């Protein structure tokens, strides 16, 4: 463990240091869905998110359009009991 961080969450620098800085701006794109469940009178909300950033070569990356269909498909499986 590094400073209280589980090894599973530590990504070796060799995996990212050729593409991004260790401290750089990364934006989070978020889509919210809110719905009412009349069966249990609950108001529910989920959010789906993905990163957007510019790599060291100046290329823009916006992953939300790429993964949104899969996230929305997963969200359709959410049930409230």
pLDDT 10s digits, 7-30: 888 888 898 888 888 888 999 999
Residue 39: predicted pLDDT: 84
**Is 15 a domain residue?**
no
Residue 48 is predicted with a pLDDT of 93
Number of structural domains (the chain) is: 1
β pairing state of 42-54 and 60-62: antiparallel
Say if 13 falls within a structural domain: no
Residue span of the structural domain in which 40 resides: 20-76
Predicted confidence (pLDDT) per residue in 24-67, tens digit = 899 999 999 998 888 888 888 999 999 999 999 999 999 999 99
**For residue 1, what pLDDT is reported?**
53
Residue 12 in any domain: the answer is: no
């Amino acid at each position: 463990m590094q400073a209280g961080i589980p090894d599973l969450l530590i990504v070796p620098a060799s995996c990212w240091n050729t593409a991004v800085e260790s401290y750089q701006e990364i934006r989070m794109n978020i889509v919210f869905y809110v719905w009412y469940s009349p069966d249990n009178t609950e108001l529910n909300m989920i959010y789906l998110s993905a990163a957007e950033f510019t790599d060291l070569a100046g290329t823009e990356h916006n992953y939300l359009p790429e993964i949104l269909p899969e996230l929305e498909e997963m969200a359709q499986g959410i049930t409230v009991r």
